[in-house]
């Protein structure tokens, strides 16, 4: 994030750089910031936000242009469990409703259980792959989370 820009300006930056009118870019940024739970932080600069809030601004910035492929490296790493679940569900919703591909890296079995397909790596090599029965968790499916945990233990 750019330290001198507030959350809206940071999230709108990709659109502004792409030539979208400032007002339109900022409205889309506000929409995404609201979706990631930051509607009360629009005017805050990065140094006025927690690490988890900064991560959510970065996620809004990544999603504001509605890309076909979303690469997410530990997108919930600095978030509390409730916020992490909300972001994982949002990414799942984006994948299914917008027909977008989300490639997410996580070490958290609870978050991995939201995926429709999980690939397990060890030392850069694929050691296992799983497709979850319902295309990911909707709500809390402890059985799928336990499956992911067990496969992680075997893979490590």
Q: Is the pLDDT of residue 6 over 70?
A: yes
Is-contact 132 117, C-beta < 8 A?
yes
Q: How far apart are CA 49 and CA 47, in angstroms?
A: 6
Q: Is the pLDDT of residue 83 over 80?
A: yes
Q: Is the pLDDT of residue 137 over 50?
A: no
Residue for token pair 């997108």: 75
Pairing of the two strands 101-105 and 69-73: parallel
Q: How far apart are CA 81 and CA 76, in angstroms?
A: 8
Among the listed ranges 39-43, 67-71, 127-131, 150-154, which one has the minimum average pLDDT value?
Answer: 150-154
pLDDT band at 133 (very low <50, low <70, confident <90, very high): low
The CATH superfamily assigned to 68-156 is P-loop containing nucleotide triphosphate hydrolases (3.40.50.300)
For the chain, what are the domain ranges?
1-66, 68-156
């Amino acid at each position: 994030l750019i330290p001198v820009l507030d959350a809206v300006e940071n999230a709108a930056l990709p659109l502004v750089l792409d030539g979208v009118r400032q007002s339109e870019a900022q409205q889309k940024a506000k929409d995404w910031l609201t979706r990631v739970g930051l509607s009360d932080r629009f005017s805050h600069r990065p140094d006025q936000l927690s690490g988890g809030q900064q991560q959510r601004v970065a996620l809004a910035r990544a999603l504001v242009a509605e890309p076909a492929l979303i690469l997410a490296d530990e997108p919930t790493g600095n978030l509390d469990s409730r916020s992490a679940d909300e972001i994982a569900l949002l990414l799942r919703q984006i994948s299914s409703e917008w027909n977008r591909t989300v490639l997410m890296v996580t070490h958290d079995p609870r978050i991995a259980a939201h995926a429709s397909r999980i690939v397990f790596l060890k030392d850069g090599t694929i050691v296992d792959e799983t497709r979850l029965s319902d295309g990911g968790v909707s709500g809390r499916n402890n059985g799928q989370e336990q499956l992911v945990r067990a496969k992680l233990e075997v893979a490590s």
